[in-house]
Amino acid sequence: MWKVVCGFLLLVGILPAQDIKSLIGLPPLTVDVDVMSKTAGISGPDLKAAAEARLTSSGIKLATGLETVSGPQMFIAVGPVKEATSTYGVGVFITQYVKPYRADPATAPTLLMNTWSKNASGKMADGNPVTPTKELVEKLIDDFVADYRKANSK
């Protein structure tokens, strides 16, 4: 369900970039990809492999085993093409379980929230992306890596 919500929010453009403080001490990530556009020029599995390679080559650890169950997740969404403008949205979101502040901590619910996000628009020409979708996603991942490093600098 949250994939649909993230995808919708990506398409209507109302998710703001989140504070990099949410990246302090971030544990290893899992990566999930949803390509909603058949004209994106890349499949979901290929985009996931490219994203994981970009993260690991940048020193970001990927979750394995039990870490994948409750750890943070990087969700990559590629939206459908808007026919009127020949554009499509691409977004990268970090979701984590968080607890909002309550005077009595025992009453604070655990929520799955987007804690960081960046998005971009791609343009189509003659049925193909002008800038390859993979490049758009890699730029957003590079933005994440820069914010992660900034948040975790000593």
* Model pLDDT, residue 66: 86
Amino acid at 105: P
Bridge partners, residue 97, by sequence: 112
Edge-to-edge strand ranges of the sheet holding 111-125 = 30-35, 73-78, 87-98, 111-125, 128-129
Through-space distance between the first and last CA atoms of the chain, rounded to whole angstroms? 37
Instruction: Considering only residues 123 and 2, tell me which one the structure prediction assigns the higher pLDDT.
Output: 123
In tens, the pLDDT along 112-127 reads 899 999 999 999 988 8
In tens, the pLDDT along 15-51 reads 444 478 899 999 999 999 999 987 788 999 999 999 9
Q: Give me the phi and psi of 82, to 5 degrees please.
A: -85, 115
